[in-house]
Amino acid sequence: MWTLLIVLLVIWLGFSVLGFVVKGLLWLAIVGIILFLATLVFGFIRNGRSRT
């Protein structure tokens, strides 16, 4: 599970960086940031639930 979350975070981070580097792909940066944060929150929720 952690491997999948880490891979997704790296992919979303790559999309964000690519979107900021290429001017016409600013929308990709925004989508990448949103997906990065959503994956991070999902990981924290799943981690907190599995500890109890």
* pLDDT beyond 80 at 41: yes
Q: Which residue has the tokens 């880490």?
A: 6
pLDDT digits (tens, 9 = 90+) for 20-36: 888 777 787 788 889 88
Q: Residue 51's pLDDT is what? A: 59
pTM greater than the 0.75 cutoff: no
Q: How far apart are CA 34 and CA 28, in angstroms?
A: 10
The more confidently predicted of residues 2 and 43 is 43
Would you kindly state where each structural domain of the chain is located, as residue ranges?
Answer: 2-47
**pLDDT of the residue at 3:** 83
